[in-house]
Structure 1
Amino acid sequence: MTTAMNPRYAELLEPPIPSPGPALTAPRIAGVATAVSGTSYTQQEILDLFEISDPKVRSVFLNSAIERRFLSLPPRDPHGALRSEVQGELLDKHKRLALDMGARAIRKCLANTGIDPHDIDYLCVTTTTGFLTPGLSALLIRSLGLRPQTSRVDVVGMGCNAGLNALQATAGWATAHPGHVAVMLCVEACSAAYVIDDTMRTAVVNSLFGDGAAAVALVADPSQPPPPVGAHRGFHGPRILGFSSHLITDAIDAMRYDWSDAQGKFSFYLDPQVPYVVGAHAEQVVDRLLAPAGLRRSDIGHWLVHSGGKKVIDAVRINLGLTRHDVRHTTGVLRDYGNLSSGSFLFSYERLLREGVAAPGEYGVLMTMGPGSTIETALVQW
């Protein structure tokens, strides 16, 4: 014998039919801008200023595919030589450089897009070269005169990959708040993260990094549909379609900060095998990024890869089957600025925009690599 279920309970057990709601709108990159610290140096000039004579160390500097970097060098001692800065001085330098470069990058980004500073509703700031409480986001809201109710988040210590981690958080906020302006800033005062000694460990790091900041403004505006293929180039910034990450847990110590008791400061470590480890895992994370859109690597017209170093770029290029032309902006940024940590890929993006070759409908891949060891990717479409 069966018993009919009470209609009241049947109603509770059956899932309700969802009511139609507004479709989520992919956020667009409305604008980008970069800034650097005051003075640039050739690799040879840096070797001379620090009086580095070891042939092996000099070879690391001079074979780095870097021509110039923007740096804020230490003050001189009574004898005229550049002296080593203590950790407190480095933290002060980070604060000074980061606020200056970050504010300039944000102001320029807003000017390029016609956005008023008071229209910013969300600010995400990422940095790895220093620690502050309150974070840079709070200090920049005050110095830029942004509204006190601006939502903010600081991404600290994630390294060179952090620009795309922060962009994902910013894109998520923009998607959830259509029509509102979200700004993401990468600001790295690499001059504030140097240890000067005669070891090969520090030589690899000191030969590579430079100071720089990059800001992007995002807006998810449902009133702006995607432009038709063939529309005027540059009519819209690209939409951010998705992200994909890969953490190489076997190489979790390959890039890291250690405390040096001898130096009394933090020292960055970069394993020589990093380029090969990253290159070996590049294919799977990119293919996972493209699969939901039904795309192949050959469908991607623009590749904007982190300028992590000559060997890193070559390893990624070879493993993904890219041409030297595909990574021309990546290598150009490395040549002119060195490794700018989290903001490097945005320097490449800015160069692509200036080139004026991205057409509506074309796809691009953004890729960053850093401690973890981590590969972060994003898919965009103009």
Structure 2
Amino acid sequence: MSQAPATRPTLLAIGSEFPPFKVTQEEMYEGLLKKWYEKVPNAERIVKNTRVRSRYFAWDPRQALANGSVPTGDRSEVFEKTVLDVAGRSVGKVLAQVDRSKVGSIAMASCTGYMGPTPEYFIAKQFELTSSIRRTFIGHMGCFAAFNVLKVAMDSLAARPDEHVIINCTEFSSLQFRSDANAEQAVIQALFGDTSASAVVGSAPDGEGVQFIRTHTEQIWGTHELMTWNIKNDGFFMTLSPYVPFVIAENIHAYLEKLLGPEKLSVGDVKHWIIHPGGPKIVEMLGKQLKLTEAQLASTWHVLGEYGNCSSATVMLVLEHMLKADKPQRGEYGVMLAFGPGLTVEGALVRF
């Protein structure tokens, strides 16, 4: 009796959509940040040094926050009104590329707003997916949460290899912008943008398609105070230490040994790098540590410049752009990386 060929979790479709307000960094600075940070030394230089050129927003912060902060509930109402449109368009884009009757699960991540039922409920209903669909919503994990929805998909496929899984990350960081007048907050409000990125993952024979070989999670204990994300009466509040890039760079080789070692691979075997642009310093330091070329970092820099740091959705934007721009060849390896509160490093080994 012939044995069925081995299968792996495989990317079947990927796509992104954006909210309606596109604002250049210069427009954002002149229209709002200049006023907020007039007492912060070198505020304009801080904003420019993020290397963000433009961002998409779920609302126009220049108008919504012109008179100062607004309550958390008001911010949440905008999230509820916007998330189903933007995430729905993103999910619709990838569903159009697959057989939706095979979709058995949907996993969604967002740390920038809450509602119940959670958004993926309404998205599944909108597209008339099966009423028995398994739903998972992952909240408040930050910039690395794309890997959490990916791992839900991989686990689902291990149990039910004949199904497809929708994964989605939708983040509206602009809904939590704040006017706290210090350099740390100036960096944050100049860095983050909004988007929705989706993918469909299914099973395919080993060696056919963009396949997720393995993932690895690493908590860097004792560093949790360097990046935090908490709820206040007037919105969510983030802290972001300038030491974060140094800690990530110091630990990246040990991390990659754990991700790549079980597959008998090293950094030199990886041609494509899909790195979450948490900020320009992170990208610069990782590029130097890993001896990456400008071409290997091009998609990461492109996403940072055109969209900013879009929290959990960002690494999916980088993957989407890299697939179009680099056109990886069959059998080449890639590594996806993202970083967030913990500090936590998440990654996946991909074979094209």
TM-score by length of 2: 0.92
- Of the three residues 139, 155, 160, the one matched with 1:177 is 160
Whole-angstrom distance in 1 between the partners of 2:322 and 2:351: 14
- The corresponding residue for 1:232 is none
Unaligned runs of 5+ in 1: 1-19, 228-235
| 1:275-290 paired onto structure 2 within 5 Å | 275-290=245-260
Whole-angstrom distance in 1 between the partners of 2:131 and 2:153: 18
- The corresponding residue for 1:11 is none
- Of the three residues 221, 235, 242, the one matched with 1:272 is 242
Structure 1 counterpart SS, 2:229: strand
- The corresponding residue for 1:333 is 303
Structure 1 counterpart SS, 2:295: coil
Say if 1:40 and 1:68, in contact at 8 Å, map to a contact too: yes
Provide Cα deviations, 1:255-303, integer angstroms capped at 9, x if missing partner. 1123446xx3321111111111111111111121111111111111111
Is structure 2 residue 101 aligned with structure 1 residue 114? no
Provide Cα deviations, 1:140-171, integer angstroms capped at 9, x if missing partner. 22233322111110111100011112211211
RMSD: 2.1
The structural deviation recorded for 1:91 is: 0.8
| 1:87-106 paired onto structure 2 within 5 Å | 87-106=72-91
The structural deviation recorded for 1:130 is: 1.3
Is structure 2 residue 55 aligned with structure 1 residue 69? yes
- The corresponding residue for 1:39 is 21
The structural deviation recorded for 1:324 is: 2.1
Structure 2 counterpart SS, 1:27: strand
- The corresponding residue for 2:317 is 347
Structure 1 counterpart SS, 2:7: coil
Whole-angstrom distance in 2 between the partners of 1:345 and 1:266: 22
- The corresponding residue for 2:272 is 302
After alignment, is 125-134 or 142-151 more displaced? 142-151
- The corresponding residue for 2:180 is 197
Say if 2:12 and 2:98, in contact at 8 Å, map to a contact too: no
- The corresponding residue for 1:30 is 12
After alignment, is 337-346 or 265-274 more displaced? 265-274
The number of equivalent residue pairs is: 346
- Of the three residues 219, 222, 234, the one matched with 2:202 is 219
Is structure 2 residue 343 aligned with structure 1 residue 373? yes
Amino acid at match of 1:213: S
The structural deviation recorded for 1:58 is: 1.9
The structural deviation recorded for 1:178 is: 1.1
Say if 2:21 and 2:60, in contact at 8 Å, map to a contact too: no
After alignment, is 199-208 or 306-315 more displaced? 199-208
After alignment, is 91-100 or 278-287 more displaced? 91-100
Identity %: 25
Give the greater-gyration-radius structure (CA): 1
Structure 2 counterpart SS, 1:26: strand
The 3 A distance-change label for structure 1 pair 92 and 21 is: farther
| Structure holding more helix per residue | 2
Provide Cα deviations, 1:163-190, integer angstroms capped at 9, x if missing partner. 1122112111122211211011011011
The structural deviation recorded for 1:199 is: 2.5
Structure 2 counterpart SS, 1:249: coil
Structure 1 counterpart SS, 2:13: strand
Say if 1:35 and 1:105, in contact at 8 Å, map to a contact too: yes
Structure 2 counterpart SS, 1:105: helix
Whole-angstrom distance in 2 between the partners of 1:24 and 1:373: 35
Whole-angstrom distance in 2 between the partners of 1:82 and 1:304: 39
The structural deviation recorded for 1:25 is: 2.3
TM-score by length of 1: 0.85
| Structure holding more strand per residue | 2
Amino acid at match of 1:202: Q
The structural deviation recorded for 1:195 is: 1.4
Name segments (4+ residues, structure 1) moved above 3 Å: 20-24, 74-77, 80-83, 258-261
Structure 1 counterpart SS, 2:80: helix
Provide Cα deviations, 1:13-48, integer angstroms capped at 9, x if missing partner. xxxxxxx99676211011100111112111111112
Say if 2:112 and 2:175, in contact at 8 Å, map to a contact too: yes
